[in-house]
Amino acid sequence: MMVSDSWPLICFSVLMQMSVGCFIISEFICLTYSRRFSSAGLRLLRLLSRFLVLVLSLLAVALSFFHLGKPWRAFGILNNLGSSWLSREIICILVFILFVAVGTILEWRKVRGQIIQQVLFLTGGLSGLFIVISMFRLYMLPTVPGWNHFATPSIFLLACFLLGGQLTAVSWTAYLDKSKNLLLQEIRTYWNQKTLGQVENLSLVLTVFIILVNALLFIQSGSFSQSDEAVLRPVFQNNAVVLVIRILLSLWGLLILARGWIPFRLFPDKKQSNHRYVYFAFLVLFLAEVLGRTLFYAVYFRLGI
């Protein structure tokens, strides 16, 4: 599989997983905030997140059409829910987008209530999780050893919550910093003093696990000894440099989150309460995940002839 042909799938999988993660994390934060802050202020943040998730999901689906030879026949893709994980993935995406769209409309029209929000969080969140599960299940083909191992579900789930958390952090920080709406004053303070740090800490932990999984992959690629795995060795080793760069980028993201370490004098560090490190962390970690996903498609190797 040529990596250059895989760009629609790289975009689709990264954007879709980021949307799901952003939905789950932002809705969870809103649910916890609803006990503390007014619904009028939360409404703006909910609309922001749901709108972002909707746009990214639709963009992901649109980009995936570039992978199809006959995109106008795409409606037939739901015909094999019984055995095809690809069919299941698409139905979960449609359900997810539907719930997010309905939730956005309800919030826009100020139709709210704790039960509605909880139901939306559960149904949207579950359908989103099933998207990620379907994604890694469809790649775990018994004939593709480069994909059929522990790293695939691990990295997909970790990337989902890492990128989702980072997108939430960036969008909410940017919006709260720029907005002069008085309804958001209390939320802004609480976000800056507490929740942003919690989201960044979550991202930090997830990044550590991503680095560990990739490091394990790197170590394992040097120890193949069986006949089929011996063929895999050059596949992984040919991409070792990219894997190392990917791990280094993740490490850099980790340092930014932990210490606000940005090697440019133009950007003040975290201690000065400047949020530029939030944007930089997102950029670096997003690039790391895109590189990681590119690597994922580069190690495609099919058993047999």
Partner 1 sequence: MVKQYAFYIDSSVCSGCKACQMACKDKHDLEVGRLWRRVYEISGGEWKKKDNLWSPGVFAYNLSIACNHCEDPLCKKSCPTKAISKREDGIVILNQKKCIGCRYCEWGCPYGSLQYDKTSGTMSKCHFCFDLIDRGELPACVSACPMRALDFGDLSELRQKYLGSNQVYPLPPSSLTGPAIVIKPHRDSTRAEMEKGRISNLEEVR
Residue with smaller CB distance to partner 1, 81 or 248: 81
Decide if residue 142 touches partner 1 (CB under 8 A): yes
What is the gyration radius of the CA atoms in the chain, in angstroms? 20
- Residue 107 has what DSSP assignment? H
CB under 8 A: which stretch of 81-89, 155-163, 167-175, 248-256 binds partner 1? Answer: 81-89
Cβ 238 to partner 1 shortest distance, Å: 16
CA-based torsion, 43, 46, 52, 54: positive or negative: negative
Contact pick of 126, 129, 141, 255 for partner 1 (by CB under 8 A) = 141
To the nearest whole angstrom, how small is the minimum distance from the Cβ of residue 219 to partner 1? 25
Shortest distance (Å) from residue 186 CB to partner 1: 48
Q: Count the residues in the chain.
A: 305
Q: Count CB-CB contacts under 10 A for residue 84.
A: 15
Show contacts with partner 1 in window 144-163 (CB under 8 A).
144
- Show contacts with partner 1 in window 199-238 (CB under 8 A): 227
Cβ-in-10-Å burial (0-12, 13-18, 19+) of 194 comes to exposed
CB-nearer residue toward partner 1: 8 or 116 = 8
Secondary structure of 119-178 in the HEC alphabet?
A: HHHHHHHHHHHHHHHHHHHHHCCCCCCCCCCCHHHHHHHHHHHHHHHHHHHHHHHHHHHH
Q: 96, 89, 15, 95: which is closest to 59 by C-alpha?
A: 15
Q: According to the binding rule CB under 8 A, does residue 70 interact with partner 1?
A: yes
What is the nearest approach in angstroms of partner 1 to the Cβ of residue 4? 14
Query: Greatest CA span in the chain, whole angstroms?
Result: 66
Backbone angles phi, psi at 111, to 5 degrees: -90, 100
CA–CA dist 300, 238 (Å, integer): 12
**Tokens found for residue 65:** 């059409």
Choose between 86 and 174: whose C-beta lies nearer to partner 1.
86
Asked whether position 7 contacts partner 1 by CB under 8 A, the answer is no
Give whichever of 71 and 268 is closer to partner 1, judged by the CB atom.
71
Nearest to 160 by CA among 138, 141, 134: 134
Determine, following the binding rule CB under 8 A, whether residue 301 of this chain makes contact with partner 1: no
302 binds partner 1 (CB under 8 A): yes
Restricted to residues 252-271, the positions that interact with partner 1 (CB under 8 A) are none
2 binds partner 1 (CB under 8 A): no
Min dist. Cβ of residue 302 to partner 1 (A): 7
Give the tokens for residue 11: 């975009």
DSSP letter for 179, please: -
Q: If binding is defined by CB under 8 A, does position 1 make contact with partner 1?
A: yes
Q: Which one of residues 36, 55, 66, 80 is an interface residue with partner 1 (CB under 8 A)?
A: 80
Nearest to 183 by CA among 25, 46, 32, 28: 46
Q: Binder to partner 1 among 44, 62, 102, 138 (CB under 8 A)?
A: 138
4 near partner 1 (CB under 8 A): no
- Output the smallest distance, CB 224 to partner 1, in A: 14
Work out whether 143 is an interface residue with partner 1 (CB under 8 A). yes
The residues that touch partner 1, with contacts defined as CB under 8 A, are 1, 67-71, 73-74, 76-80, 83-87, 90, 138, 141-144, 227, 300, 302-305
